[in-house]
Amino acid sequence: MNILAPLHPAGWPFVSAFAVITLILSYFSTPLGLIGFVLTLWCVYFFRNPARTTPTREGLVISPADGLVVKIEDAVPPAELNWHGEPLTRVSIFLNVFDVHVNRIPIAGTIVKSHYYPGKFFNASLDKASQFNERNSLVVKTKDGVEILFVQIAGLIARRILCHVKEGSHVQTGQLYGIIRFGSRTDVYLPKGVNPMVCVGQRMIGGETVIADLLSKEPTREGALRP
């Protein structure tokens, strides 16, 4: 169960700080101590890092994050990546403060480009977040030479993006590579001609949900909200 998952190392300083503050508050006021205790539990929950079972068949592009697909559209990748081709299909995944916030590699290959952009902190669900917010962009090239672009984007509350891979790193599908602290967003850019296998409004499970299949010619999927 996710609630019993181990903590990501980046969470320990926050959990420790919340716990100390809770002890101090409890000394002066029981109600304040209870509030601090609840917030400490939430902090533990936020930084959970559950193991995931990743589909490993060649060609599959896996969701790099938990969250809700809020937008699927053609878009030019971030300017710092110096993309000179046509716009690509971008799948945007919004993470609220209750989602798992660790990020996982969407497809195996080699990191050929990495760029951190110190931007602003608009609400991550807004369109302009992809263009203006603080972000960390990565490009992974598969053994067949296909490039997949994916971007960690800070949100209104998020103030820190951590990325544990760099240019030249050889990575595996589903491999843990970073975390975004608090509300945020992750964008995945699919190669031209590759259709997403997910729909707007669908929930993603990072490291498990198949976003696209490089070997498939299936048309873009449509979805319907069911009560």
Dump pLDDT digits (tens) for 189-221. Answer: 999 999 999 999 999 999 999 999 999 888 888
Residues 26 and 106 both lie in one domain = no
Residues 208 and 136 both lie in one domain = yes
Residues 41 and 64 both lie in one domain = no
**Which residues of the chain have a pLDDT value below 70?**
1-4, 119-131, 156-159, 182-183
Residues 114 and 194 both lie in one domain = yes
Q: CA-CA distance, 134 to 87, in Å (whole number)?
A: 21
Does 184 qualify as catalytic in the annotation?
Answer: yes
> Is residue 51 assigned to a domain?
no
* 174 CB-near residues (< 8 Å, 6+ apart): 52, 54, 56, 62, 104, 105, 207, 208
Residues 41 and 71 both lie in one domain = no
Length of the chain: 227
Q: How high is the pLDDT of residue 1?
A: 45
Nearest CA to 25 among 35, 17, 16?
Answer: 35
Residues 30 and 64 both lie in one domain = no
> Is residue 161 assigned to a domain?
yes
Q: CA-CA distance, 124 to 117, in Å (whole number)?
A: 15
Residues 148 and 121 both lie in one domain = yes
State the residue range of the domain holding 25.
2-46
Decide: 34 and 52 in contact? Cβ < 8 Å. no
Q: Running DSSP on this structure, what letter comes out for residue 109? A: E
> Is residue 218 assigned to a domain?
no
Residues 40 and 64 both lie in one domain = no
Q: How high is the pLDDT of residue 143?
A: 94
Q: Catalytic: which of 63, 92, 137, 184?
A: 184
> Is residue 127 assigned to a domain?
yes
CATH number of the domain at 152, please.
2.70.70
> Is residue 221 assigned to a domain?
no
**Cβ atoms within 10 Å of 50's Cβ, excluding its own:** 16
> Is residue 16 assigned to a domain?
yes
* Total tally of structural domains belonging to the chain: 2
pLDDT tens digit string along 13-40? 888 888 999 999 888 888 898 998 998 8
Residues 41 and 70 both lie in one domain = no
Residues 89 and 162 both lie in one domain = yes
Residues 139 and 35 both lie in one domain = no
Residues 16 and 98 both lie in one domain = no
> Is residue 38 assigned to a domain?
yes
In the β-sheet with 67-75, what is the strand arrangement from edge to edge? 170-171, 109-117, 135-141, 147-154, 184-190, 88-95, 67-75, 203-204
